[in-house]
Structure 1
Amino acid sequence: MHTAPHPTARRQRGITLVESTTVLAVAAVVVGIAVPSFDQMRQRQHLEGIALQFETDVHHARSVAVARQQTVRISFASDAAASCYVLHTGAASACHCGANGAPVCGAGAEPLRTVRLDAAREARLTANVASMVFDPVRGTVTPTGTVTVATANGRALKHTVNIMGRVRSCSPDGAVPGYRAC
């Protein structure tokens, strides 16, 4: 036997204002927790990208020196606003970064690549040498040096370039996951 629904009982359709407000509040908390970790992940990936680009440029400079049978240099510069490096031919003082980030070269030097990092927006690159020279005959690098790429949040990666042009990377205090501490 089938009974009819009670005439005063209604079926509820949709969601109530209280339910939707509760869902929005929970979503806001989840987003509030996730946003800082997304920013940290973005900064870490940016740091790793800059560091890998430098490592690639070291290998490129060595390859170009050997292929062209010509001395190639990486020259470093840094000030309060930005830091940069220029891969170039010629003497150590033959190329530097201009104020707009473009290479400024003289005395027959040829710029091969320039990387400029805005200290406020991106990262800072510092080196313990003014330039590194890639020998076209032996493929060696002199002087050897350490280049540090650091972001505003304090994370950093150090690259040590040895005499053979190999780059060894590490993270000071192990602050960057995936890199050994140095």
Structure 2
Amino acid sequence: MPGVELDDQGCREVEICASLIDPNPSLIQSSPQLRALQTADIIARHCRLPVEIAPALDELDAGDWTGRGFAELEADPVWQRWNEKRGSSMPPNGESMAAVQQRIVSHIDQLCRARSGECIVLVSHAEPIRATIMHVARIALDDFHSVEVAPASISTLVADSTGIKLEQANQKAPA
């Protein structure tokens, strides 16, 4: 959701996550959303790197649902279908999970080709991260409930000559 900021707890969690990044990255990219940029800035200070904005890392476009609360959407049958069948439905005037997955996976593939062997930090949102994990793990988009992506968590992909592998998903910073 546009304009949402990190709270103090979120900032503390990101500080801890930043300390877990090893090796030091050569590139930090972020979604253009404010909370992602705040997250990337905390990591960038820790790693002494600038942040590059990458629109491909943006959150899912929720279309007509943008700005509406979950309680309000519960009675909407399209919302209910969306939460049961992410692979074959989409928000009204919004973006499908397949489109999100294509957008972010294409971006990651391009980075892997251009920056082979480098550690890169990408700061995104739950749905694009979930879509990426599902692609790499070959999980159908309709099974999106099987992949958890918590706020301020780290998921790690490793790319080599055989492709991209999921090394770790949803690592939370120790409390």
Normalized against structure 1, the TM-score is what? 0.25
Greater C-alpha radius of gyration: 1
More helix by share: 2
TM-score by length of 2: 0.26
Higher RCO, 1 or 2 (CA under 8 Å, sep at least 6)? 2
Structure having the higher strand fraction is: 1
